[in-house]
Structure 1
Amino acid sequence: MTTDLRAFLEPYAERGAAPGAVALVARGERVDVAAAGSADTGGCTPMARDTIFRIASLTKPITAAATMALVDEGRLALGQPVGNWLPELSAPKVVRTPDGPVDDVVPAGRPITVFDLLTFRAGYGFPSDFALPAVAPLFSELNQGPPQPQAVAEPDTWMRTLSRIPLLRQPGEAWLYNTCSDILGVLVARVSGQSLPEFLAERLFAPLGMKDTGFAVPAADLSRFTGYYRAHQDGGFDLVDAADGQWSTLPAFPSGAGGLVSTADDWFAFARMLLTGGLAGDGTRLLSAGSVRQMLTDHLTPAQRKASGLFTEGQGWGFGGSVDVEPLDPWNVRGRYGWIGGTGTAGHIVPSTGLTTLLLTQVELGGPKPPELMRDFWTYAARAGAAD
């Protein structure tokens, strides 16, 4: 099937959907990986299986897994208020109405819990309407949005800034995108007593053999790192970040929402751990089976799913990723878990069939909706998986 997968990818690279791509489709012991096009727009570096990508929001499931490792150890509990570890959030204020001014606030009705952060219902984050007044400070003061690791303040400063921004909704009330994963990254670091890069490296990346995953690319590996591009409406690409740019040194703020780089094989190792109920390839247990089930379960109400429609289509939300609940498209399978990254990445698993699909490109998404290449890849992968 690798030949077929390459034949699927190559036309998209040739007609300029992306300079290049790496795709993986796996089920059981069968793993097909194909690369097409180039890691740069000049065509100087062919895309390869071990090419390193900025995976953006494919970081979110990894941060959720790190949080659940601490839950498994009893160092955190899902219903526990986070104020003990994040005193900046111990007495949050909420805007009186979502479209109201940022200085018209009321006290939060209850504390923010670990569960609120994992399900993106803490009250911080992006709604469907980006123009709401309480959303603006997330961009202007916290540098939320497209990843720019060297532009974000270190965690303690970032949390102090966050504490001055009111919640958009009461804790538990609504699903709001992105910010909760960055807060979880700070929580993991404070509870563990390690930096987020150290904790992830020790507890997930080393046991899973994810040797190319981290918050920066070592100098010796920059030749395998892609450029990062933004597409012109009339064709062509602008360079957003070069291989020796923002990911060439560790950032002050390691973003649990979108800061990681990785490869196809590394992210597949993480996906396979989820599919096996928390086991590494050598049988070492990294997460309890119950924690994995919690990650892969939709926790939203029907009303919350409907309100999140800018970001999701027939999907709910587990911990760190979406969960398909309505089979609206050829690729939708009830229970499919995963997410997409704003740098042009998408990773999903289907627990009921053992299917993993992963697409890595280096082109920024034009908005929350997946581009044609992603949608066509999901359809291809769903059909290929069904045929195995």
Structure 2
Amino acid sequence: MQYRKIETANLGRRGFLGLAGLGAAAAAMPAPLWAMAQDSYPTVRAKITEFVAQKKVANALAAIGRGSAAPEVIAAGTLALGDSNAVDIDTIYRVYSMTKPVTGMAAMILIGEGKMKLDQPISDFLPEFKDMTVLTDPANSLEAVPAKNAITVRHLLTHTAGLGYTIITKGPLLQAYLENGLAPGAVSKLELPGFPKPAPTPDFKTFSERLAKLPLIAEPGTKWSYSLGLDLMGRVIEVVSGMEFGAFLKARIFDPLKMNSSYFQVPKSEIPRLTTNYGLLFGSLIPIDPAADSVYLDAPAFPSGGGGMASTARDYDRFLHMLMNFGELDGERIMALETAKLGMSNLLPAGVDVSGTWIDQAGHGAGGRVGLGQQAGSFGWGGAAGTNAFVHTGLKLRATGMTQYMPADVLPFQRQFPEWVIADVLAQMGL
């Protein structure tokens, strides 16, 4: 598939959509909405150019597609500060938690094939999770009582299993996670201030067994709390499918979608396409993961379904395009139409309160945030290094925003990227 590039000067955690009313407005507009002129996204272009010109980031890129059209690409900056190679649709970025929707949809493939069920206890596949306990005072102790509910597939997909996460969890449980190597996300080979150093991550089976021995922070099915749920889902997928998790993704998603540059270990041959990741310290960009010596060049203990993927805007656009088409792209059916719709619907257990969380006033599907009410049709998630991607099935819209800086919330790129896209869509619609 060809793409249209919008040239910009080579100036070398999870925000989402304000989409109220757009679905209805789209239905009332003359078709086709996606028959646009070049440079259809002036707000996105201006913001990307500004971020790079002000050296807030080394580079930034957007790939935005409508309907069946190839994505328009807006890019500025270079692979690293001082580098002469401009970023483009085939540049490799660390997408971190944008891996979660991919893992979620991999699980949906198995659900659609009847190999597991949404509300099936994961102990059917991982017996170590049969008798879980729940902390009585998460902030201060590891004292726990027997859990009343079993952890289900639904809980893992929606962060309602009660599992912890080293980027969120505090207190004694955080220390237990670190001591057990329950932190599969790779950031740097350097010891970084503010990033506690965990024990080495074990193999996938041991990871699951160690995780099951520790108490939960909440009763399964009662609380939304960002977690290792999608990492553990990778282990469930292995057991259910009988395939190594990374091999399953390659066979069932990457290869049929021609996502040829999506990796859990970036080949050394691809270093010339890999960005450098930066940490922002007092307004300065500090290289924390240079491409030539990136931690992503090393083989991980196992493919992290929660945050281990590196990919390109071209590849991720193809994943989103498949979702926008409800499971199909270029004649390749990845999952049944109803399965794709289910995966992008609100799968939260009844009664879960999400107020004050990253999905406030929204739902959660198979690994990503789901718009509700007038925002229905939107699904997506962001990554720890500032990336963001979403699809809106009602608008036939898909958008991927790429850059590389940490922490993601230090700059507004991730949070505001969807707002810039939607501002330009509104302008196209005359609204």
- Tell me the distance in 2 between the aligned counterparts of 1:345 and 1:84: 35
The separation in 1 between residues aligned to 2:292 and 2:357, in whole angstroms, is: 31
What is the CA-CA distance between 1:9 and the residue it aligns to?
1.3
**Cα displacement (A) at 1:51:** 0.2
Q: How does 1:325-344 map to 2 (within 5 A)?
A: 325=372, 333-344=375-386
1:101 corresponding residue in structure 2: 141
Runs of 5+ unmatched residues, structure 1? 328-332
Q: 1:234 to 1:353 in 2, by over 3 A?
A: closer
CA contact (8 A) 2:77 2:86 kept: yes
Tell me the residue number matched to 2:65: 26
- State the Cα distance separating 1:366 from its structure 2 match: 4.4
* 2:105 equivalent among 58, 65, 68: 65
Offset of residue 176 of structure 1: 1.5
SS at match of 2:345: coil
2:150 matched residue in structure 1 = 111
* CA distance 1:70–1:192, shift in 2 (3 Å): same
Q: CA deviation at 1:380?
A: 2.0
2: CA distance between counterparts of 1:281 and 1:112? Answer: 37
Counterpart of 1:41 in structure 2 is 81
Higher alpha-carbon deviation: 86-95 or 179-188: 86-95
Q: Which amino acid aligns with 2:253?
A: L
Q: Distance in 2 between matches of 1:285 and 1:201?
A: 15
3-state SS of paired residue (1:231): strand
Q: Corresponding residue for 2:29?
A: none
Percent identical across equivalent pairs? 29
In the aligned structure 1, how far is the partner of 2:84 from the partner of 2:179?
37
Match of 1:360 in 2: 402
Distance 1:135 1:304, change over 3 A: farther
Residue of structure 2 equivalent to 1:190: 239
Q: Deviations over 1:56-93 (max 9, x none)?
A: 00000000111111112211111211112112212111
- Number of residues of Structure 1 aligned to a counterpart in Structure 2: 377
Shift of 1:95: 1.2
- Counterpart CA distance in 2 for 1:128 and 1:84 is 29
Aligned to 1:289: 337
Does 2:325 align with 1:276?
yes
Partners of 1:348 and 1:139 in 2: CA distance? 32
Displacement after TM superposition at 1:119 (Å): 1.6
Amino acid at match of 2:230: S
Cα distance in 2 for partners of 1:231, 1:250 equals 26
Q: Which has the larger radius of gyration?
A: 2
Q: Where in structure 2 are the equivalents of 1:238-317 lying within 5 Å? A: 238-282=287-331, 284-300=332-348, 304-306=353-355, 309-317=356-364
Query: Alignment partner for residue 153 of structure 1, among 195, 202, 205?
Result: 202
Deviations 1:164-208 (A, max 9, x none): 210111111111213100100111111111111100000000000
Q: TM-score, normalised to structure 1's length?
A: 0.90
**Aligned equivalents of 2:188 and 2:257: distance in 1?**
25
Task: State the alpha-carbon separation in 2 of the partners of residues 145 and 316 from structure 1.
Answer: 26
Higher RCO, Cα 8 Å, sep 6+: 2
Distance 1:239 1:326, change over 3 A: farther
Output the CA distance in 2 between the equivalents of 1:239 and 1:44: 19
Task: Give the gaps of 5 or more residues in structure 2.
Answer: 7-38, 190-199
Cα distance in 2, alignment partners of residues 217 and 146 from structure 1: 15
Partner SS state of residue 94, structure 1: strand
Tell me what 1:345 maps to. 387
SS of the aligned residue for 2:295 comes to coil
Q: Label 1:179 to 1:129 Cα distance change in 2 as closer, same or farther (>3 A).
A: closer
8 A contact 1:41–1:237 mirrored in 2 = no
The range that moved more, 93-102 or 76-85, is: 93-102
CA contact (8 A) 1:63 1:257 kept: yes
**Cα separation, 2, equivalents of 1:206 and 1:149:** 29
**Cα offset for 1:27?**
1.2
TM-score (norm 2): 0.81
Q: Aligned-pair RMSD on alpha carbons?
A: 2.4
Q: Deviation at 1:385?
A: 2.1
3-state DSSP of counterpart to 1:67: helix
